[in-house]
Amino acid sequence: MIKSVDILDEKNKRLHEISEEVVFPLTKEDGAMIEEMLEHLVNSQIEEVAEKYNLRPGMGLAAIQLGIKKRYFVIAHERNENVFDKYVIINPKIISHSEELIYAGGGEGCLSVNRGVEGIVPRYARITIEYKDKEGNTQKLRAREELAIAVQHEIDHLNGILFVDKIDPNDPFKDEDNMRMI
């Protein structure tokens, strides 16, 4: 049986709180939670497993989505069928970004938002972040396109922002012509 993580719904006010810096060394609980989060994301993207255990597919998950108010998130990015690049990002800071803006053509989704949402979320096409790995070492990640969107989406979670907060309710496709769809 696959363990399922308990993801907060968008109505939960904790999702709008700013997460706190992680202090190293990581606690055993945080280390175990990071592994559970990655396992959940990978399982959610493998179609047979997701169907069997009724998992919504997700690429990223922030600790705050599980009610843990700490600045870390994980991403499982499917490189090839059922082959994933796994990222554990702790205390991230965006250190540079492109001028070019993009948006997800099918719209962004979120494991905390259990409904379809129309509209576009402007994101940088390329970003570089500095972050800590599980051992507390400083790392850099350059991300582009889909991975860049996922990283920005998860950093927003750490800052108490949901993607739906970034969509203009009066004009959900505002400035669409000034961005590239991916």
Task: Decide if pLDDT at 3 tops 80.
Answer: no
Please report how many Cα atoms fall inside a 13 Å half-sphere around the Cα of residue 70, on the Cβ side: 19
Q: What pLDDT is attached to residue 5? A: 84
Express each pLDDT in 129-171 by its tens digit.
999 999 999 999 999 999 999 999 999 999 999 999 999 999 9
* CA dist 176 → 62, 87, 173 (Å): 27, 30, 6
Catalytic residue ranges:
154
Domains in the chain: ranges and CATH: 13-181 (3.90.45.10)
Q: Residue 4's pLDDT band (boundaries 50, 70, 90)?
A: low
Task: Decide if pLDDT at 1 tops 60.
Answer: no
Task: Decide if pLDDT at 46 tops 80.
Answer: yes
Q: What pLDDT is attached to residue 74? A: 98
Is the CB of residue 58 less than 8 Å from the CB of residue 50? no
Task: Decide if pLDDT at 88 tops 80.
Answer: yes
Instruction: Supply the mean pLDDT for the chain.
Output: 96
Query: In one letter, which amino acid is 100?
Result: E
Express each pLDDT in 89-127 by its tens digit.
999 999 999 999 999 999 999 999 999 999 999 999 999
